[in-house]
Structure 1
C-alpha cells in the first residue's frame, strides 16, 4: 500500500513546476538506512511529500548493518543511503571495500552519546564532581574510568566497550573521549584490524539496535551510539549515558547521504532533485525552534523507520536528554538537522574523519596536508549542494541567507573551548592537529606488531 501511494503521488508530481525544471534521468529510487533517529531527513522527505514534489518515486529500506548498507550502494541494489560519514571516505581511499562514494549532503550534527553499564556507573559515581545544584557536573571525563579499568584488570577481565563500525563517528568519538581522559583505546595496523593493539579499553563492533541487549548481557561495559539507543538504556534501567557528543565536540558532524560517483555522473539532475528534497526535510525538522519534532518522532517511531517507542525517541529528539534516570536536562541542539549549516558538506568535516583514521592507524602511513584536502574534495561535494540550494531559493522554498554561498568549503577552526580535550581543530592543518593530540600516531609513526614505531 505504501509503495502504491508513493507511486500515485509521484505520478501526480509529474506536472508540478519543480519537476518540470529538472529532466530526471531516473525517477524510481531505493535508499537504505539504519534504524537511528538521524535517518530522519529521509523519512521526512518521504512522508512530507518532498520527494514527490521533485517527481521522485522513492522506496526506503532498513538495512541489517552498515556493511550491508555500503555494499548495497556499491553494487547498485541501493541508489543511495544514510551513511556513516567515514564510509564514503574509507571506501574512496580503499580502507575496507574500495569504491568511489561521494556525499552532496550532510545529514545532521551531534546526536550520539556514550553509555556505561549500571555496574561501572556505580563504581565511578562517588568520585564525580557535582554542580551548585548537587547534580553530577557535566561533561564527565573518561579519566574516571581509570580505576575501574585497573579493577577489571586485577580480576583478569578486559574492559570492553561497543561502537557501531570501524569507520563510524561513534568509534572516533569513543576513542576521542577515552584518549582525552588519558586512556589508550588501541591502534589498527594493516595486519591487525581489530583496533585493539596496545589498548587499555577494548572497542568492538555492535550494531546500534543491539547495543542495549549486549550491555545488559554483560558482554560490554559501555558503548557509543546514536539515538534512541542511549535513551533506551535509561528507559530499561540497564545503563547510564554519561556524555553526549555535543558535550564532547560542540556541533560535530554526523551522518551523510552517500551515493556512488558513477550515480552522480550518470544522473546529475536526479541527484540535484534528491538533494533539494533532503534540504527541505532538514529545514522542516529544525524550523520554528523544532516545532515539528513531535510529528517527526511519531514518524520515526513507526516500524518502517526506527521502530522504538515514541517516548524513547522523544527523550532526545525534542530537545532534552536524560542521563541517570530522573536527571533530564535541556539539550536543544542534541539533534541538529539544518541550523549552523548542518547540511552543507564541509571539506573540514571530511578532513577531521581522515585525521582520526590516521591517528589510530587505519591510515597506516603519514600523508601531507595536500592529500587530506584532495581526498576531502573527491568525496564531499558542496558544489552539488549549493546548486540544489540555489534552485530552492529561486523557487521560494528556501531563504538565501541560510546557505554559505561564499565558503571555500572549510569551516572556521573549531575553538579549544568547544572540544572536551581543549585542543582546537583547523581542517586546513591536519598534520599540525595530529601533532597536538597527546595520544595517537604522529608524523612518520606506524604501528608494527604490538606497538608504535618511529
Structure 2
C-alpha cells in the first residue's frame, strides 16, 4: 500500500496542473472499506486496482470481513469508513431492526447476481414436477416443484432447512419471495421471536456465503440462496444444482449497496463525493463495451485478497452465462449488471421494496402508511450525492451525460417482471402488500405463532 501511495503521490504532483484542478478537497484521504467475498464487491476491487480511488486523492485499504454483522458493526463503530453492504442493512439499521444506527447509501453496487441452489438429492426429487423441453428443464423453475418434496419431508417428520446469508439480506427476501410464489410459507418474524420460522413450511437460517457449499454438502441444509460464486461452486463441486437466478425472480433487481454512516457523509462531504465518483467509474468499466473487461475483472476477483475462488468458477456467472445442472450452461447476459439500466443510482423505490418485504414477513411488526416508506427511503438512499458525483464526472469528461437519470423523482416506473406476475409500484407499498396471498397485509400482526388481524 505504501509503495502504491508513494507512486500515486508522484503521479498527482506531476499532473497538478491538470487533473488536480478537478480534484475535490477531500477531508479524509486514508480510508478502510469492508467487504464480503462475493463477486458483487467488484466495484470496490476495480476502483482500487484501476487507480480510481487514487485519482480522487483517496488512499484506500480493502479488508474482507467475517460476516455481515461484523461488517455492519465495523462501519457503525468507525473501524471501517464504509462497506459493501446488503441493501437491507442500512434500512434495517436506520429503522432500528437489529443494530440501530443511521446508515446511508449514495451508491447502489449492482443488479441481479444471486441464485437459489438445492442439493442433488432434492433436485432429483424436484425434477419429477418440472416440465422439460429437449431433455432440459424449462426455466424459470417455480417453487411449486419444491412443494411436494417439502410436504413429503414433513410427512416423514423431517424439518426442511434452507440457508440464506442474513435476516435483512436480499437473499432472505428473494428466497422467501420464490417460496411464497410457489405456495410455500417461509415463516414470519415477531418482536418476541426473531428466528423468522413462525408458521413456516421451510425453515430458513443464516449461513455466511463462503460456507454455503460446505453446509449443503454436510446435509445441514437442503438448499440456499446466495450470491456468486457460491452457487457455481456447488456445480463445480458436484454437490448441488442452482435452480433459479434472482434475475428470473425479479428481472434487474437491486442488490448490494455501498454504505456509510450519515455522520461520515456530514463530516466528510467531499470525501463522500470522491468515493462515489470512483465507484461510478469502476461500475462503468465493468460494463463498458458489452462487458469486454469482464475477463480482467474475473482475474482480479479470483485473487485471494478479494473473492479467492477459482477463475473458472467466477467466470461461469460473470461473463454472460450461468450454469444450472452440470452441463446446462445458458446465456444470461444480465446476470451481473454494474452500470447499465441505471444500476448504480440509489432509487427510493428500491428501498421501498426492501421495506415492503420487511413488513411482509413481520420484521416491521406494525402497519405503516405509504408516507412512512417514502420517508425512510429518503433518509437512507441519497441520489442527491450520487448525481452530484455524476455531474462532476461529466464535467471532467469521464462519464457521458446521457448515462444518468437526471430528471427522475427517485422512483422507478411500476415494475412487472416478477416470477409471480405481481406489479410493484414503489409509491404504493400497501397496495403491493395487499396483492400477496402469503404475507402480512393491512393491520395484520404476528402474535405468538399465528397471524392476527
Q: Same fold (TM over 0.5)?
A: yes
Correspondence 1:302-451 to 2 at 5 A: 302-415=303-416, 418-451=417-450
Residue 43 of structure 1 is matched in structure 2 by 45
* SS of equivalent to 1:361: coil
After superposing the two structures, state which structure 1 stretch, 228-237 or 151-160, moved more: 151-160
CA distance in 2, matches of 1:98, 1:11: 43
Q: Is residue 115–residue 223 contact of structure 1 (8 Å, CA) maintained in 2? A: yes
CA distance in 2, matches of 1:323, 1:24: 46
Residue 73 of structure 1 is matched in structure 2 by 75
CA distance in 1, matches of 2:259, 2:137: 39
1:100-125, CA deviations, whole angstroms, 9 ceiling, x for partnerless residues? 00000000000000000001000111
* Deviation (angstroms), 1:145: 1.1
Correspondence 1:7-406 to 2 at 5 A: 7-10=6-9, 12-13=11-12, 15-16=15-16, 17-20=18-21, 21-131=23-133, 133-406=134-407
| Number of aligned residue pairs | 450
* Deviation (angstroms), 1:134: 3.0
* Deviation (angstroms), 1:395: 0.3
CA distance in 1, matches of 2:89, 2:53: 25
**TM-score, structure 2 normalization:** 0.98
CA distance in 2, matches of 1:158, 1:340: 41
CA distance in 2, matches of 1:155, 1:181: 21
* Deviation (angstroms), 1:151: 1.5
Q: Is residue 185–residue 203 contact of structure 1 (8 Å, CA) maintained in 2? A: yes
CA distance in 2, matches of 1:247, 1:349: 17
* SS of equivalent to 2:385: helix
CA distance in 2, matches of 1:240, 1:256: 28
* Deviation (angstroms), 1:146: 1.4
CA spacing shift, 1:241–1:7, aligned 2, 3 Å: farther
* SS of equivalent to 2:115: strand
* SS of equivalent to 1:339: coil
CA distance in 2, matches of 1:141, 1:283: 34
* Deviation (angstroms), 1:127: 2.3
CA distance in 2, matches of 1:325, 1:190: 42
CA distance in 2, matches of 1:19, 1:242: 50
* Deviation (angstroms), 1:4: 2.9
CA distance in 1, matches of 2:121, 2:228: 22
Q: Is residue 3–residue 59 contact of structure 1 (8 Å, CA) maintained in 2? A: no
1:127-185, CA deviations, whole angstroms, 9 ceiling, x for partnerless residues? 21013x33210000001111111221122210000000000000000000000000000
* SS of equivalent to 2:443: coil
Segments of structure 1 that go 5 or more residues without pairing to the other structure are: none
* SS of equivalent to 1:274: helix
Q: Is residue 13–residue 54 contact of structure 1 (8 Å, CA) maintained in 2? A: no
CA distance in 2, matches of 1:127, 1:189: 34
* Deviation (angstroms), 1:431: 0.3
1:294-322, CA deviations, whole angstroms, 9 ceiling, x for partnerless residues? 00000000000000000000000001000
Segments of structure 2 that go 5 or more residues without pairing to the other structure are: none
* Deviation (angstroms), 1:3: 4.3
* Deviation (angstroms), 1:126: 2.3
CA spacing shift, 1:52–1:221, aligned 2, 3 Å: same
* SS of equivalent to 2:126: helix
CA distance in 1, matches of 2:44, 2:99: 25
CA distance in 1, matches of 2:9, 2:104: 26
Q: Is residue 228–residue 312 contact of structure 1 (8 Å, CA) maintained in 2? A: yes
Moved over 6 A (4+): none
CA distance in 1, matches of 2:103, 2:5: 27
* Deviation (angstroms), 1:391: 0.3
CA distance in 2, matches of 1:269, 1:11: 22
* SS of equivalent to 2:341: helix
**TM-score, structure 1 normalization:** 0.98
* Deviation (angstroms), 1:7: 4.7
